[in-house]
Chains A and B, each alone.
Chain A
């Protein structure tokens, strides 16, 4: 009744056209005569499916498809049917199966063993279906998030009424950290009065490097000089040091990363990730030469993530990748399993370790926080780079030696220093389970001050991994 198309003709159409991806279609529910039709045949051509050798109930055919979305249906002995074990939708053409072809060609499975055809066939189908779903879901989710980030600007990150702290570059470094501590912030843009420009950012990492410099016996910097050593002098010395490191390919040169209020959020997020900074000052200049700059905001990944969560809160079904548990996604830093190679081990410390060891780990391992665990690797607390500003309380940094104070003592000092107006005052460790969905993790990371979640085992709180804001964005932006 139906005009059948030879498989060779379908194969031949891929010779001169764009790159096509071979795809095998299977009808495992029996029949006498089975045809395949779909959007890739304009729903008019019907491709005859051949029964598998030794398995008369299973029909199959291989077609070359363009990358993208496709719909298809089966005609079994004159009756239209769909495979309800595969993805399907109820559309204008009735119930049809759907498939999303990615650019990479699929590896065709080998011919099934004829000894146990039914069982092997089902296993192959399951293996095919499961890995494919995350790939297509990931592409859909990334595309939608990319569209959202490209159509919203940094201006959307500004609160209705915001406040931002800036420091003059001629301010002594010591006074600068007192200001950061008093204001409860961990970084501030730097203003050059003579250039009338913002020229950089002072952050907790600078304070860590200064303390390590003071700790070196051969250091040129003394306690007395700390009183008068300006931010400009410190930054210049750091720049020289990084220039030396950069020739060795070890580090990034110091330069000012900023964005304008009309730049899209995707560009702001990429600036954060590519330059390995935690905030990007939003600076606006009404003139074209960039003079008379206005500081508007300090943009961070948590602000952008809050916008994403708010936007997709009521349409989570359009982002299928967000429903998956975080353990099934290549995201974050995890404890290495037995026999599994891990390129980047998870850095942890005991509470009795010295503060100097933590600061060295911040600098060398290039991490921003360290889980503090007990002998069983159970999570007790977390020490972050921004916690270093607590040493400004009562000038603690002048009275202690980095190798003589323990992390436990430093954390006690930090608890007293917590801002009383902080919303998350009572909770310093932010944890999650490996079975929690990516969206739940994103919602919690969107809270200001929460930069990372430690993945722990339920009950024992044994550390299994850590997921940071930059991990999530690197995963979503692809």
Chain B
């Protein structure tokens, strides 16, 4: 009778419910090298590149541009031009109630020559 009880205990462990062994690779990961830590973080988040300032605002489109991503709202953008110009464009996109407005203001660039004089 005791042997029978012991045998029943062994039979309770069903094949599908056995505890699996831990994989060997779990304990073999290499520590990250110093290369990643040496690299500087980006100057600005990359998704700030998705600005609306490059879309035309001419009268044919009635000044309509695509909907902005939330991350670019309330940021001041300054136009980046390769060749120096006497005019600079400042851009700003904000939300007014349930609509979005992008304003581009063109300002003269202060000449350094005048300042030095």
26 A-B contact pairs sorted by A residue (CB < 8 Å) = A158-B96, A158-B101, A160-B100, A162-B63, A162-B99, A163-B63, A163-B102, A163-B103, A164-B101, A164-B104, A165-B57, A170-B107, A172-B86, A175-B86, A183-B57, A184-B56, A184-B60, A284-B96, A294-B94, A294-B101, A295-B101, A295-B103, A297-B63, A419-B60, A448-B60, A448-B61
Selecting from A10-18, A47-55, A421-429, the interface stretch reads A421-429
Q: Which residues of A contact B66 (CB under 8 A)?
A: 161
Q: Is B74 positioned at the interface, with any CB of A under 8 Å from its CB?
A: no
Q: Which residues of B contact A422 (CB under 8 A)?
A: 58, 60
* CB closest chain-B residue, reference A168: B107
Q: Is A63 positioned at the interface, with any CB of B under 8 Å from its CB?
A: no
Q: Which residues of B contact A419 (CB under 8 A)?
A: 56, 58, 60
Interface centre among B55, B67, B86, B105 (most CB of A within 10 A): B105
- From 172 to 203 in chain A, residues with beta carbon under 8 angstroms from any chain B beta carbon are 172, 175-176, 178-179, 183-186, 191, 193
Q: Is A296 positioned at the interface, with any CB of B under 8 Å from its CB?
A: yes
For residue B64, give the distance in angstroms from its CB to the closest CB of chain A. Answer: 4
Interface residue total, chain B, C-beta cutoff 8 A: 30
Chain A contact residues, CB within 8 Å of chain B: 155, 158-168, 170-172, 175-176, 178-179, 183-186, 191, 193, 261, 284, 294-298, 303, 386, 419, 421-425, 448-449
**Interchain CB contact (< 8 A) of A171 among B52, B55, B56, B108:** B108
- Whether the Cβ atoms of B63 and A175 lie closer than 8 Å is no
A158-B96, A295-B103 known; 9 other A-B pairs, CB under 8 Å? A160-B64, A164-B101, A164-B104, A165-B104, A167-B105, A170-B107, A178-B87, A183-B104, A419-B58
- Whether the Cβ atoms of A297 and B87 lie closer than 8 Å is no
Task: Given the known inter-chain contacts A162-B102, A175-B108, please indicate yes or no for A183 contacting B56, CB distance below 8 A.
Answer: yes
Task: Given the known inter-chain contacts A184-B60, A294-B96, please indicate yes or no for A161 contacting B106, CB distance below 8 A.
Answer: no
- Whether the Cβ atoms of A162 and B65 lie closer than 8 Å is yes
For residue A165, give the distance in angstroms from its CB to the closest CB of chain B. Answer: 5
- Whether the Cβ atoms of B55 and A172 lie closer than 8 Å is no
Q: Is B15 positioned at the interface, with any CB of A under 8 Å from its CB?
A: no
CA distance A165 to B37 in the complex (A): 44
- Whether the Cβ atoms of B65 and A161 lie closer than 8 Å is yes
Q: Which residues of A contact B96 (CB under 8 A)?
A: 158, 261, 284, 294, 296
* CB closest chain-B residue, reference A158: B99
Q: Is B62 positioned at the interface, with any CB of A under 8 Å from its CB?
A: yes
For residue A365, give the distance in angstroms from its CB to the closest CB of chain B. Answer: 23
- Whether the Cβ atoms of B60 and A166 lie closer than 8 Å is no
For residue A108, give the distance in angstroms from its CB to the closest CB of chain B. Answer: 52
CA distance A168 to B59 in the complex (A): 21
Query: 3 tightest CB-CB pairs across the interface, nearest first?
Result: A184-B58, A422-B60, A163-B57
For residue A90, give the distance in angstroms from its CB to the closest CB of chain B. Answer: 43
Q: Which residues of B contact A193 (CB under 8 A)?
A: 107
For residue A68, give the distance in angstroms from its CB to the closest CB of chain B. Answer: 40
- Whether the Cβ atoms of A160 and B99 lie closer than 8 Å is yes
- Whether the Cβ atoms of B106 and A165 lie closer than 8 Å is yes
CA distance A175 to B108 in the complex (A): 9
Q: Is B81 positioned at the interface, with any CB of A under 8 Å from its CB?
A: no
- Whether the Cβ atoms of A421 and B61 lie closer than 8 Å is yes
Q: Which residues of B contact A184 (CB under 8 A)?
A: 56-60
Binary interface profile of B, 73-97, with partner A (CB < 8 Å = 1, else 0)? 0000000000000110000001011
- Whether the Cβ atoms of B52 and A163 lie closer than 8 Å is yes
- Whether the Cβ atoms of B108 and A170 lie closer than 8 Å is yes
* CB closest chain-B residue, reference A186: B59
CA distance A83 to B24 in the complex (A): 101
For residue A266, give the distance in angstroms from its CB to the closest CB of chain B. Answer: 21
Binary interface profile of B, 8-31, with partner A (CB < 8 Å = 1, else 0)? 000000000000000000000000
Q: Which residues of B contact A161 (CB under 8 A)?
A: 52, 64-68, 99-102
CA distance A178 to B61 in the complex (A): 20
Task: Given the known inter-chain contacts A161-B99, A171-B106, please indicate yes or no for A448 contacting B62, CB distance below 8 A.
Answer: yes
* CB closest chain-B residue, reference A188: B106
CA distance A295 to B104 in the complex (A): 10
Q: Which residues of B contact A191 (CB under 8 A)?
A: 105
CA distance A421 to B54 in the complex (A): 13
Q: Which residues of B contact A176 (CB under 8 A)?
A: 106
- Whether the Cβ atoms of A449 and B67 lie closer than 8 Å is no
Q: Which residues of B contact A175 (CB under 8 A)?
A: 86-87, 106, 108
Q: Which residues of A contact B63 (CB under 8 A)?
A: 159, 162-164, 297-298
Q: Which residues of A contact B67 (CB under 8 A)?
A: 160-161
CA distance A183 to B106 in the complex (A): 11
CA distance A359 to B60 in the complex (A): 24
Q: Which residues of A contact B64 (CB under 8 A)?
A: 159-163
